[in-house]
Amino acid sequence: MKFLSWLPLVFLASPMMAMAAEPFLGAAMPGIPAVVYKTNDNGGEYSVTIQILALMTILTVLPSLLIMMTSFTRIIVVLAILRQAMGLQQTPSNQVLLGLSLFLSLFIMMPVFRIINVEAVQPYMAETITPQVALEKAIVPIHEFMLSQTRENDLNLFVRLSGRDDITTAEATPIHILIPAFITSELKTAFQIGFLIFIPFLIIDLVVASILMAMGMMMLSPIIISLPFKIMLFVLIDGWALIMGTLANSFGTV
């Protein structure tokens, strides 16, 4: 339970629900009962409030928050391109890539999570700030992280599409405009990294294909011959450490 106390993705669900149910939230006001169950023996009563139902509904949005507001998108795209470049169709499996991307994202986002924990989660759990204030404080470090990874051209594009003329600085960009700009920048960065990863493996494929054609073995697939060489090259250069280190350093938050 202590782990969940600082996990911002779970924490963000509660303030979002609070803003949606603002008229009946508060320390002195009881929740509106949605389902009431009365016992027959002692007249006891159990109820599920609207707040709990809203919170359970908001939990379904958490995977989207994890994917679209953190470093997860860039990491999973790069790893998928790496697997394709090596010619491996199912190795590593999708489960392995997703797990690796998840925990590497937690590692990269940990400085941001610590700020959210200190400035928003702990005061909210201590009941010193309201859910609305906690949400505002939690969004600030995430906003700064996404803004630092977003290209100016992508940000200007979505500001222009939104038709907002009152946004004069990048820091004043609303979160709903920053998120699509951030995702666009992440995809562009991921494809740039993937292009650099593809080059050495492409060279191996070209060399093997040229040798096979020179030997008159045109019916033999070059992929079958080049795959062991690509795996050997990747292992010799300690490829996994290079990929993980490059991805972590590309965000500049570690």
Q: What is the 3-state secondary structure (H, E, C) of the chain?
A: CHHHHHCHHHHHHHHHHHHHCHHHCCCCCCCCEEEEEECCCCCCEEEEEHHHHHHHHHHHHHHHHHHHCCCHHHHHHHHHHHHHHHCCCCCCCHHHHHHHHHHHHHHHHHHHHHHHHHHHHHHHHCCCCCHHHHHHHHHHHHHHHHHHHCCHHHHHHHHHHHCCCCCCCHHHCCHHHHHHHHHHHHHHHHHHHHHHHHHHHHHHHHHHHHHHHHCCCCCCCHHHHHHHHHHHHHHHCCHHHHHHHHHHHHHCCC
Q: In this structure, what token pair is assigned to residue 10?
A: 């779970």
pLDDT at 78: 92
pLDDT for 41: 54
pLDDT for residue 49:
59
More confident residue, 90 or 78: 78
Quote the pLDDT of residue 185: 92
Mean pLDDT of 218-243: 83
Question: Would you say residue 74 has pLDDT above 70?
Answer: yes
Cβ(96)–Cβ(240) under 8 Å? no
Angle between helices 50-58 and 8-20 (to 10 degrees): 130
Most confidently predicted of 7-21, 74-88, 164-178: 74-88
More confident residue, 85 or 43: 85
Average pLDDT estimate for 9-34: 42
The pLDDT assigned to 191 comes to 92
